[in-house]
């Protein structure tokens, strides 16, 4: 009941855009689906923990799990994913305002165990064993004085590179312009450090910061441009592998750079090993002097949020159908062959008609090379769909976007607390303290009071009371009634959390 109340405005808008007439059960299905997102299991597990659902839907009982599953798939077929993504971005835009933000993008691989013939990819967390899975591109943003917010999730085939996620992220023109206007630095894993990927990002004006897959000795360099707080030299140089500079959206020129940064600055001159950062961001002198900390911000703002989401069911396989499709490697091979054929066509179109036997022989050789490429392309395409892969057609993508909406709503709510442990609380921790606690609901005219069981330890009770205070101050509503949460003392002495008017 609490989760749909947190997302009430977004769910109302989502239902209105999908069902303008408002004569269907679209809104009730969205409320039921949202209330089951953080159950930590699949559809059946969500049904088992839906005891408070009738209070949010007004029905006499909870929906059957098959009904919610079919409704979610039907909503996806109606375009609910695109609408939910738009609401997610609007949520972030309102929360950040005109503030500058840092962006973080990484790939999350979700394992799918199957005995069917399917495309697979290495999953690092499981010892790089080959498994059928799906790659999801996850993007988070964080303002200088605000919580980490989920911004976008994209669906990819197994073994897709990180560049695919960045391209989908910037594929929408409205999203692309907002990112260029507000993102000061876009921190990426070393999976995007190749020249083709960085060249594409440079052309788009993306202020990337990534780590090259090599190390150097900083003692071989001369004329340092900066120094770390411990006095170790830093060398900021033009990126010789990317010569072009681009004009940003603000009219300023952006030049690709490499920064030679000491790997162990705390050891001073005793350790000459350095790492190489590649960037197109306009970094200040202070940021360069602490560049290792700037880059490592991707752990608390990207890696840890993904793990926290997975802990509450984000990684559940809610759709298990495999569809015949091509692999990521096959797609790349086809794209390279098509590009080669196009280059041959352009070259042949520029050649004049041969007037000598030598020129005719050269043209015939070029035509033969093109024909060989076409033959190879046809052979590659014939065996394209011999294996299966999970495709973005079911309810899982919609559930992931709704979960990210919940992540942001809770993050913005908890950020108002003066208690640091509450401000940085994960979704799993909120579920332990409040969402999954046994509760007694008292329904009155215009008010629903939820008496929640108190947790065991004294420290946890303090955090629980603080979360309850924040929820009550938000003045959430359930079917038009004000929702109030109170803590029920297990000893029988009830505790009422007082809030200001």
pLDDT digits 0-9 by tens, 329-346: 888 889 899 999 999 888
pLDDT at 500 over 70: no
Residue 222's contacts (CB-CB under 8 Å, 6 or more residues apart) are none
Bridge-based pairing of strands 481-488 and 447-453 is parallel
What is the predicted pLDDT for the residue at 253? 66
**pLDDT 10s digits, 200-248:** 898 888 999 999 888 899 889 889 999 998 899 999 999 888 866 666 5
Dihedral sign, Cα of residue 87, residue 90, residue 96, residue 99? positive
What is the predicted pLDDT for the residue at 492? 53
Out of 37-41, 151-155, 304-308, which region has the weakest mean confidence (pLDDT)? 37-41
Instruction: Give me the count of residues in the chain.
Output: 501
pLDDT at 494 over 60: no
Packing angle of the helix pair 65-77, 26-35 (nearest 10 deg) = 120
Cα–Cα distance measured from residue 453 to residue 333, given in angstroms and rounded to the nearest whole number: 58
Give the CATH number of domain 82-310: 3.90.350.10
User: Does residue 274 sit in helix, strand or coil?
Assistant: strand
User: Does residue 178 sit in helix, strand or coil?
Assistant: helix
**pLDDT 10s digits, 184-205:** 999 998 777 688 889 889 888 8
Q: What are 457's two structure tokens? A: 């330890």
Per-residue pLDDT averaged across 337-360, rounded? 86
Of 449, 459, 457, the residue nearest 497 (C-alpha): 449
What is the predicted pLDDT for the residue at 299? 93
327 touches 158 (CB < 8 A): yes
Q: Where are the domains of the chain?
A: 1-78, 82-310, 327-384
Cα–Cα distance measured from residue 400 to residue 83, given in angstroms and rounded to the nearest whole number: 13
Per-residue pLDDT averaged across 51-57, rounded? 84
User: Does residue 479 sit in helix, strand or coil?
Assistant: coil
Dihedral sign, Cα of residue 36, residue 40, residue 46, residue 49? negative
What is the predicted pLDDT for the residue at 74? 93
Bridge-based pairing of strands 121-123 and 477-478 is unpaired
53 touches 1 (CB < 8 A): yes
More reliable by pLDDT, 175 or 352: 175
What is the predicted pLDDT for the residue at 330? 87
What is the predicted pLDDT for the residue at 116? 84
pLDDT at 118 over 70: yes
What is the predicted pLDDT for the residue at 247? 63
pLDDT at 418 over 90: yes
What is the predicted pLDDT for the residue at 235? 94
């Amino acid at each position: 009941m609490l989760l749909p109340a947190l997302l009430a405005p977004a769910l109302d808008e989502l239902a209105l855009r999908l069902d303008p007439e408002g004569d269907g059960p679209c809104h009730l299905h969205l409320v039921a689906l949202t209330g089951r997102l953080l159950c930590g299991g699949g559809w059946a597990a969500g049904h088992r923990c839906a005891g408070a659902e009738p209070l949010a839907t007004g029905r006499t009982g909870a929906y059957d799990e098959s009904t919610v599953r079919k409704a979610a798939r039907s909503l996806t077929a109606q375009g609910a994913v695109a609408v939910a993504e738009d609401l997610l971005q609007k949520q972030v835009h309102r929360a950040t305002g005109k503030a500058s933000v840092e962006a973080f993008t990484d790939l999350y691989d979700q394992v799918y165990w199957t005995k069917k013939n399917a495309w697979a990819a290495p999953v690092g967390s499981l010892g790089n064993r080959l498994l059928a899975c799906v790659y999801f591109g996850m993007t988070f943003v964080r303002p200088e004085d605000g919580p980490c917010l989920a911004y976008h999730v994209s669906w990819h085939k197994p073994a897709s590179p990180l560049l695919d996620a960045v391209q989908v992220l910037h594929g929408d023109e409205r999203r692309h312009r907002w990112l260029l206007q507000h993102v000061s630095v876009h921190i990426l894993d070393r999976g995007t450090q190749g020249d083709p990927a960085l060249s594409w990002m440079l052309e788009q004006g993306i202020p990337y910061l990534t780590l090259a897959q090599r190390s150097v000795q900083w003692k071989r360099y001369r004329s340092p441009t900066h120094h770390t707080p411990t006095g170790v030299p830093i060398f900021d140089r033009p990126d010789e592998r990317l010569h072009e500079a681009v004009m940003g959206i603000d009219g300023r020129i952006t030049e690709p750079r490499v920064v030679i940064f000491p790997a162990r600055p705390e050891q001073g001159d005793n350790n000459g090993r350095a790492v190489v950062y590649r960037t197109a961001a306009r970094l200040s002198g202070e940021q360069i002097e602490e560049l290792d900390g700037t880059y490592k911000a991707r752990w608390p703002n990207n890696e840890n949020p993904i793990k926290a989401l997975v802990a509450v069911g984000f990684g559940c396989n809610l759709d298990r159908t495999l569809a015949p499709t091509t692999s990521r490697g096959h797609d790349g091979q086809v794209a390279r062959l098509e590009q080669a054929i196009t280059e041959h066509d352009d070259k042949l179109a520029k050649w004049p008609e041969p007037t000598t036997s030598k020129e005719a022989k050269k043209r015939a050789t070029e035509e033969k090379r093109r024909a060989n490429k076409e033959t190879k392309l046809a052979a590659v395409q014939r065996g394209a769909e011999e294996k299966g892969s999970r495709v973005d057609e079911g309810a899982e993508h919609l559930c992931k976007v709704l979960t990210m909406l919940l992540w942001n709503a809770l993050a913005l709510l908890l950020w108002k607390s003066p208690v640091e442990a509450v401000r940085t609380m994960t979704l799993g921790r909120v579920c332990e303290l409040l969402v999954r606690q046994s509760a007694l609901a008292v329904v009155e005219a215009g008010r629903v009071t939820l008496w929640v069981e108190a947790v065991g330890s004294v420290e946890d009770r303090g955090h629980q009371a603080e979360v309850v205070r924040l929820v009550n101050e938000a003045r959430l509503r359930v079917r038009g009634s004000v929702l109030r949460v109170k803590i029920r003392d297990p000893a029988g002495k009830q505790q009422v959390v007082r809030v200001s008017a």
